[in-house]
Amino acid sequence: MERLLPFDPPAIGGHRLAVRLGAGGMGVVYLARSPHGAWCALKVIRAEYADDPGFRARFRREAELASRLTGWWTVPVVRADADADSPWLATAYVPGPSLAEAVARPGLWPGAQVRGLGAALAEALDGVHAAGLVHRDVKPANVLLAVDGPRLIDFGIARAVGATALTADGSVVGSPGYLSPEQARGRTVGPPSDVFSLGCVLALTVTGRAPFGTGGAAAVLYRTVHEEPDLDGVPAGLDRIVRRCLAKEPEQRPGARELLDVLGGFTPDGWLPEGLPARVAARAARVLELPVPEPTTVDGPSSVTVPEAPPSPTRRRLLVAGSALGVTAAGGAGAWWQWGRNRASANTGSVHRTRHVIALLGSPDDPFYAAQERGARLAVEQHNQDAGRTVDLVLRTADDRGTAAGSADAAVRLADDPDVSVAIATGSNATAPAALTPCKKARLTLLITRADTEKLNGVNTTTALLLRSTQTLGPHPVLRYLNRVVEPARTVVVHDLATEADSLPTVRIATIYGKLNNETAVEDVAADEDFTGFARRIAVRPRDAVLFAGTSPSRAAACARALRNAGHKGARVAGEHVLAAPFLAVGEGWRIGTGYIDANADSRTRAFAAAFRSRYERAPGPWAAEAYDAVRFAAHGLASIGDDGRSALRPGLLRKPWQGITRVMGFDAVSQYFQVEKDNGGFLYRVTGGTARFVARADDIGKQT
Amino acid sequence: MAGRRPVVGVAVGEPKKGSGTSTGPSPSSSASAVADEPYTLAEEQAPKTRGEAVAFVRGLDVRPDYFATGYRKRNPFESDPAQWAVLGEDCLWRREALPETALASLTRAFEMPEQGGKEAVYVSLTVTVHENIVAARRDMAGALESALRCPEQRLNATDVVRGLYSRVDASTDLRNAVTEDDLVEAGEWVVDGENEAHPFDWYKFRVGPVTVAATARHGAGRSKEEDTAVSSDLAKGVGFVAAEIDNWGAAGSEGAADDSGGTDGATDEPAETKGAEQ
């Protein structure tokens, strides 16, 4: 780390620069603080390179490709601006030394640690390759050592397989000593080239020597192509593996996935050889000593977010559960991530179709399960009847016994089955979260249709995708209803302490986060208290609206009864969790915000409802259309990964919004929250005659008469 | 830790102001998740007199559940708004009359009662109105300086805070700059005669000429993750108060109706919360 130099700008694209991390021919890398206060590594390219229009295109592509990677051992690109005078790119900052600094002496890295290192890097490459990319510059300087494992960085010259248009193929890019023979010869390279480079890195880590020697680039390249590697001192078991990676013929090398299996897994405990953890920690600690850069006003034209979220600096936005809230997920420029193989054969009706198993997790005893299973089955059947399909789908069900333990067990079984390509959790807040960990461990994408607990907010550290917003946003359709239709002078938010934890997010969204336009007041009602005292107080202002923030149907019923008895005249609203018999019996006139549509009552779901009725001789119940959408969303992603394996599914699903019949499946680029800008899967119902009747999609609230 | 993927929980918790959500007044206007403007309070909207300032700090509704479910008000709940805590040359915190530059300072005390083998967490939250932004900035600077001057600070007759360090933690990526200035310190506190020390957090934000500070003294019995959750929930709560102050300014100071000018009222704060407010 070096101090900033006098000619370094104070900030770039709103990122306050702290120190220089390094400088090279292409430009400078700074440690910077993002506008959000996060540390990041910001790489600025010298303006003279940017003069070449081809360069900007390549840079933009680099940023876009690197932002696709979501693996644990790769470093996400956070922001980039290809159009700045000096184009720049920011990635999350990894405050560790590079492997190049940590291989100074042979014998420092024992075999077990090298295997762990290799496994993590193989896993990183597997993710890179699954995304259709080749890193092309795997070398010790591009491997950073963090406390919890290594990180593969700098996709500076990564590009999609076969995307040769942006550079003249035939030129050698990369670092001699770690280049594959095919790279050294300037030939087109694929994933095996990275495996070769990884083999070189592992050999160097063990022996402290580059396996093809040092010296002039030409000599090193010659040895790479023509001579056997120098692996003296590599332990026998590892020698065999490294030797396979260093095979001259690309097809004789193991794939990254196979390499990962052969090396065994990675365990973060004790992954660093003796002496290194202290160094890694010391490096990380140096960040703590840095002065926080002076807050500067955000300069100049705003940068381009990767991918495609146009920043329009207005007021500070609610980042709660959503960055999703703020981001328009729809975006123009980025090409959808369709790759390769089966695209060409898409409409040929050709014989080979990959078969994907979609597993539906739920309990037949769950009142909302049967409708979801039927909806999912219908989606699979319709898909398999489409002559233009590129993959075949199979629906499998897994009983979660309606419990968290059962959900975890079922998820483990599904995760262990390599035939399962994706799982869909249909259960409640009590069951669905338990499936997260097993699915994550096995890189199995888990789509969640119904659960909405705040425990699911951290989806970007899992393999799950939530197809709705969580309780963090409260019952947002009724908030919109209050704002657009009722416009009460005041809304009283009833904080039911009987379900305090579930009630609190709704209280916060309505008050602290200011999502209700008019005045709010909070009434805490203790768990052992009924609602008569509250109702008496509100009777003084009977036109005030009431937002019941709790989730218990019987408590909501008690609240409804008390309000009725007190002669309350204003609007009364709540979220979907109160919808059960006790409340429905007394909740006449209440408006309820839900995450499920009534497919029978909406024009865009009418065709689905008709197909459902003709298939099952009954109308689709709650969540049927959502499960249908979940399967179709999964199928859409599976069609795009070809034979790349299930771990490639989730990054693809995240890339671009997909339009379903119930909602747009779109996700924030960073937080991966379900987007709630438009067509957000929120619906308004009205309780009448003991049932909840569909009123409108969230977008339409207040639009119709 | 370092370099891990950002913890969403932190980002989720940070209150952000503004509308532009599905429920906001102009849903189409929001194109960005970027937090562009920190919470603030313009000097001209801030309370000007001691009376206004006292009414302002008393009028803020700081709910116990700002800091997580389960928190309760302590008794006595509020301090004397004409005093604040000062760290002496001897590194001992004392209550003293406010200087000229501060108009009012109110400390509220909360606790998460002991439950299920987890000892209580004590939170104290102090809102101080300074006469202007310069004075508030000086206060922020002084707070940082005092931690350097006294790595070990005596809160009262029995409690000591030690190992205080200023923290800019890479692992809290995505921690948003909620206000114009913020200061995060952490250390441990220990009761005389006891061996075991427990985490101590100290957050201080500046919103225009107002500073909001909070401390948490964690009790024993929590895992590292649970202690981390207590800390990040505390930060969240401080952000909520900042949001309220910003809101108050935006609404045009109509809330400051009750102009008592009082330096009366509140009883002495409990000894344990001394020093917590700076």
pLDDT digits (tens, 9 = 90+) for B226-241: 998 999 899 889 989 9
Distances (CA, A) of A13 to A44, A245, A326, A570, B31: 11, 41, 19, 48, 17
User: Residue A586: what are its φ and ψ, rounded to 5°?
Assistant: -125, 0
For residue A137, give both structure tokens.
Answer: 């510059």
Per-residue pLDDT averaged across A612-620, rounded?
93
- Residues ≥6 apart with Cβ < 8 Å to A598: A622, A683, A685, A693, A694
- Residues ≥6 apart with Cβ < 8 Å to A399: A362, A363, A364, A406, A410
For residue A130, name the pLDDT band (cuts at 50, 70, 90): confident
d(CA A151, CA A5): 28
Torsion sign across C-alpha atoms A274, A279, A280, A281:
positive
**Partner residue opposite B15 with nearest CB, options A280, A513, A668:** A513
Of B173, B220, B180, which is closest to residue B200 (Cα–Cα)? B220
Q: What is the DSSP letter of A99?
A: G
Q: pLDDT by residue (tens digit) across A634-654?
A: 999 998 876 677 888 998 898
Question: Do A439 and A560 fall within a single domain?
Answer: no
| Chain A residues closer than 8 Å to B3 by CB | 75, 92-96, 144, 146-148, 151
List the domain boundaries for chain B: 49-273
The number of residues making up chain A comes to 705
Expressed as residue numbers, the domain containing A249 is 99-283
For residue A694, give both structure tokens.
Answer: 């569909």
Q: pLDDT by residue (tens digit) across A134-147?
A: 888 888 888 988 87
| Chain B residues closer than 8 Å to A124 by CB | none
Cβ-contact A503, A549 below 8 angstroms: yes
- Domain-embedded: residue A5: no
CATH 2.30.30 fits B49-273, yes or no: no
Query: What pLDDT score does A174 carry?
Result: 58
For residue B168, name the pLDDT band (cuts at 50, 70, 90): very low
Beta bridge partners of B201: B186, B216
Question: Do A366 and A398 fall within a single domain?
Answer: yes
CB contact under 8 A, A319 and B8: no
> Any CB–CB contact under 8 A between B30 and chain A?
yes
pTM above the 0.80 mark?
A: no
Strand-pair category, A519-525 with A490-496:
parallel
The secondary element (H helix, E strand) that includes residue A354 is: strand A354-362
d(CA B133, CA A49): 45
d(CA B65, CA B112): 10
Exposed, middle or buried, A71 (CB in 10 Å: 0-12/13-18/19+)?
buried
Cβ-contact A660, A629 below 8 angstroms: yes
For residue A49, name the pLDDT band (cuts at 50, 70, 90): low
Domain end point (choices A92, A124, A140): A92
- For chain B, give percent helix, strand, coil, nearest 5: 25, 30, 45
Q: pLDDT by residue (tens digit) across A307-330?
A: 333 333 333 333 332 222 222 222
For residue A131, give both structure tokens.
Answer: 């995304």
Q: pLDDT by residue (tens digit) across B72-95?
A: 999 999 999 999 999 888 899 999
CB contact under 8 A, A314 and B36: yes
Question: Do A448 and A535 fall within a single domain?
Answer: no
Interface test with B, best of A67, A94, A317, A668 (most B CBs within 10 A): A317
Q: pLDDT by residue (tens digit) across A69-116?
A: 777 888 877 788 888 877 888 887 877 788 888 876 666 788 888 999
Around Cβ A169, how many Cβ atoms within 10 Å? 12
**Partner residue opposite B5 with nearest CB, options A460, A480, A508:** A460
d(CA A463, CA A445): 5
Which CATH number belongs to the domain containing residue A187 in this structure? 1.10.510.10
For residue B2, name the pLDDT band (cuts at 50, 70, 90): very low
Asked if the model's pLDDT at residue B253 lies above 60, the reply is: no
Collapsing DSSP to helix, strand or coil, A355 comes out as strand
Which CATH number belongs to the domain containing residue A587 in this structure? 3.40.50.2300
Per-residue pLDDT averaged across A442-450, rounded?
95
Q: pLDDT by residue (tens digit) across A363-402?
A: 999 999 999 999 999 999 999 988 888 889 999 999 999 9
d(CA A411, CA A444): 9
d(CA A301, CA A668): 22
Query: What pLDDT score does A680 carry?
Result: 94
Collapsing DSSP to helix, strand or coil, A199 comes out as helix
d(CA B36, CA A518): 24
DSSP string, A662-695: S-EE-B-TTT-PBP-SSS-S-EEEEEETTEEEEE
| Chain B residues closer than 8 Å to A509 by CB | 23
> Any CB–CB contact under 8 A between A151 and chain B?
yes
Domain end point (choices A74, A92, A110): A92
Domain end point (choices A45, A63, A92): A92
Asked if the model's pLDDT at residue B101 lies above 70, the reply is: yes
Q: How many distinct structural domains can be found in chain A? A: 4
- Domain-embedded: residue A146: yes
d(CA A219, CA A567): 92
Closest approach of A51 to chain B, Cα-based (Å): 30
d(CA B132, CA A683): 47
For residue B177, name the pLDDT band (cuts at 50, 70, 90): low
Place of tokens 């002078």: A489
Query: ipTM for the complex?
Result: 0.71
> Any CB–CB contact under 8 A between B26 and chain A?
no
Asked if the model's pLDDT at residue A595 lies above 50, the reply is: yes
For residue A43, name the pLDDT band (cuts at 50, 70, 90): confident
Query: What pLDDT score does A155 carry?
Result: 62
Query: What pLDDT score does B20 carry?
Result: 35
d(CA A304, CA A83): 8
Question: Do A256 and A122 fall within a single domain?
Answer: yes
Query: What pLDDT score does A346 carry?
Result: 34
For residue B111, give both structure tokens.
Answer: 């606790």
Of B262, B278, B125, B119, which is closest to residue B194 (Cα–Cα)? B119
Question: Do A257 and A111 fall within a single domain?
Answer: yes
d(CA A581, CA A565): 20
Place of tokens 């007759």: B157
3-state secondary structure A204-231: HHHHCCCCCCCCCHHHHHHHHHHCCCCC
- Interhelix angle for A256-263 vs A111-130, to 10°? 150
> Is A43 assigned a ligand-binding role in the annotation?
yes
Q: Which residues of A are catalytic?
A: 137
CB contact under 8 A, A676 and B19: no
What average pLDDT does the structure give for chain A? 81
Question: Do A225 and A275 fall within a single domain?
Answer: yes
> Any CB–CB contact under 8 A between B8 and chain A?
yes
Query: What pLDDT score does B264 carry?
Result: 40
Around Cβ A290, how many Cβ atoms within 10 Å? 14
Query: What pLDDT score does A6 carry?
Result: 60
Asked if the model's pLDDT at residue B277 lies above 80, the reply is: no
Query: What pLDDT score does A69 carry?
Result: 75
Q: What is the DSSP letter of A443?
A: T
d(CA A208, CA A206): 6
Beta bridge partners of B112: B121
Question: Do A482 and A498 fall within a single domain?
Answer: yes
| Chain B residues closer than 8 Å to A319 by CB | 11-12, 14, 16, 33, 35, 176
- Chain A, residues 174-193, CB within 8 A of chain B, namely none
Query: What pLDDT score does A26 carry?
Result: 63
Angle at A365 between CA A361 and CA A371, to 5 degrees: 65
Per-residue pLDDT averaged across B32-54, rounded?
79
Interface test with A, best of B10, B12, B23 (most A CBs within 10 A): B23
Query: What pLDDT score does A513 carry?
Result: 86
Of A237, A41, A75, which is closest to residue A150 (Cα–Cα)? A75
Q: In one letter, which amino acid is A60?
A: R
Nearest CA in chain A to B21: A325
CA Rg value for chain A: 28
CB contact under 8 A, A326 and B39: no
